[in-house]
Structure 1
Amino acid sequence: MARGGITKALVKQARDTLLAQDRHPSIDAVRVALGNTGSKSTIHRYLKELEEEEACRLGDAKGLSEPIQQLIAELARTLETEAEEIVAAAERRHQEQVQTQRQQLEASETVRDELVAEVEGLRQGIAARETTLAEQAARIIELEQQRQGQAIALASLEQEKQGLQERIEVQAQHLASIEEKHRHTREALEHYREASRLQREQDQRRHDQQLQQLQAELRQQAQTLIVKQDEITRLNRDNAALAGELRERERDNQQQAQALAKLREAQQTGERIRDQLEARLGRSEEACAALDAQHRQLTDVHAQLETRLGRSERGRERLQTRLLAEHARRRTLEQQLERLLARTSPDQETEASDQPVSDADSSSRQSTDE
């Protein structure tokens, strides 16, 4: 790290060190000995003062003839002239280097402004996507609440279906009992036909009433099945809406993936620009530090987008799993309703086939009473 400044004593010490090493104490050599600190004009001024002081000491020295002193003075002036020329050339080179670095810094500033504008655009895009993700999270919560309501409705339907199934089983047992009685009384039908005509008419009326009650119950069950079928249709519509929501989420994920690809291209562009600036600027540590900071910012933004995209993908998979579960439950309920309808139809046919033999049932009932 560069020190705050140089003094004449430091310049003299560096000059003496170079002279002790049999090296010419030029401005560049003294500056290197000082650790590349201090301006060349300051070092030149201190060297000139030191040479003048030595010239004065030489002029005051005793035991030297005047021609030698003149020769020394001439050599001092020559050295001073050459040193001034060297300093002037060094200053011109320094100015050229400063101008070149200034132009390079201006170019890097322009590139940095462009990168800052691009990063600002990316930040705005990320803010918009964060808003969209928040809305999607709210929508997912709402869908979860709807799913819970549907689960409760399905549980209620399952209970009603189980009750209907139990009633159908009771009716099937009743019809089986009637069929068994009909089989036992068919053998004694011819013996008691005339004697039980009046009783048969009464039993016929009673059987008709029971049959009407059974038919009314079957009609009510059919209406109940129609209501259940309407509820299944509504669940199908809800599932279709969930499927549409899933497709919209997939489109949003595709858009986020495209934005992530653009961000990656921007990051690669930033890396290429950084490499170019490093090749051009070389020693410009401030520009390199700025580009490194921008690169770290782009890397952080890239990591954040990767994390959010992963979360969105996991949310989409969970939603798809729930949708598949809803479809499976709907198919199971439809299969159960179909089996219920299939079991109800044979019961109706059995009741219809029992009507012609109601007389035999009445005779059997009369014989049993006797």
Structure 2
Amino acid sequence: MRDLTAQLSEHVGLRRSIEKKLQHSHEALKPCRTATSELLEHKAHRHEQQVQHLQAKLRQVNQTLVVRQNEITQLNRNKARLVAETGVATRYDALQITARTQATELTQVREARESLGAALTKLTARFDAQQQLLWNYRIVFEDERFHKPEPIPENGEIAVAKSSKKPHP
């Protein structure tokens, strides 16, 4: 019986020691977890700002593209009207040069729009990955908060249900 009591005492002491070490480890990691979480949130916020900036640029490029397309359409109408009215080759050539120039500008605007679209897609993918990582950290943090071991009572006794029946011989 003394052997069992001594073993129980030894196990209780060992358990307390392990629990203290675990508690110290949790406390030591808490600032790191907090800093990591804050960093990820900061990165997510900065990324969101970048995405919004690129979306604004993309809208601006699209608006410019619409304006240029309307200008080209109007120039083509003017060209057709002038050719029909005057039949002068020089005006036709000038309009043709202008139309080519604006067509080149339109191509450049389209390329810029495609480039911004690709950048937006990349940033959106990075943002989604950051959000998933942040979500995973939150799950781990919440899981660690709710699965703490039961503390040992101060008197060191482990509660054991006592039976009023006597053991059979």
The interval holding the TM-score normalised by the smaller chain is 0.7 to 0.9
Q: Any unmatched runs of 5+ in structure 2?
A: 160-169
With the length of structure 2 as denominator, give the TM-score of the two structures: 0.78
Distance 1:270 1:281 in 2: 16
Q: Does 1:245 align with 2:46?
A: no
The equivalent residue for 2:165 is none
Structure 1 position 267 matched with structure 2 position 96: no
Deviations 1:318-338 (A, max 9, x none): 211121111112212221232
Which position in structure 2 is the counterpart of 1:316?
120
Aligned to 1:307: 111
Identity of aligned residues (%): 11
2:37 is aligned to 232
Q: Which residue pairs with 1:288 in the alignment?
A: 92
Residue 335 of structure 1 aligns to a residue in which SS? helix
CA-CA distance at 1:274 after TM superposition: 1.2
Aligned residues: 158
Q: Which amino acid aligns with 1:241?
A: R
CA distance 1:354–1:241, shift in 2 (3 Å): farther
State which of 124, 131, 136 in structure 2 corresponds to 1:332. Answer: 136
CA contact (8 A) 2:61 2:112 kept: no
Which entry has the higher C-alpha Rg, 1 or 2?
A: 1
Cα RMSD over matched residues? 2.9
CA distance in structure 1 between the partners assigned to 2:32 and 2:41 by the alignment: 14
Query: CA shift at 1:210, angstroms?
Result: 5.7
Following the alignment from structure 1 to structure 2, what is the Cα–Cα distance between the partners of residues 212 and 288?
94
Q: 1:276 to 1:259 in 2, by over 3 A?
A: same
**CA contact 2:152–2:158 (8 Å) conserved in 1:** no
Cα separation, partners in 2 of 1:325 and 1:312, compared to 1, 3 Å? same
Task: Give CA-to-partner distance per residue, 1:91-145, whole Å, 9 cap, x none.
Answer: xxxxxxxxxxxxxxxxxxxxxxxxxxxxxxxxxxxxxxxxxxxxxxxxxxxxxxx
- What residue in structure 2 maps to residue 254 of structure 1? 59
Specify the alignment match of 1:357 in structure 2. 158
Query: Relative contact order: is structure 1 or structure 2 higher (C-alpha 8 Å, sep ≥ 6)?
Result: 2
- Once the two structures are TM-superposed, the CA of residue 293 in structure 1 deviates from its matched residue by 1.7
* Whole-angstrom CA distance in 1 between matches of 2:37 and 2:45: 12
- Structure 1 position 212, deviation (Å): 4.5
1:214 aligns with 2:19: yes
Specify the alignment match of 2:163 in structure 1: none
Task: Report the TM-score when normalising by structure 1.
Answer: 0.38
Could you list the runs of 5+ residues in structure 1 that have no partner in the other structure? 1-191, 359-370
Q: Deviations over 1:210-253 (max 9, x none)?
A: 62453143123233134213211221111111001101110111
The alpha carbon displacement at 1:289 in A equals 1.6
Give distance in 2, aligned partners of 1:326 and 1:210: 39
AA aligned to 2:144 is L
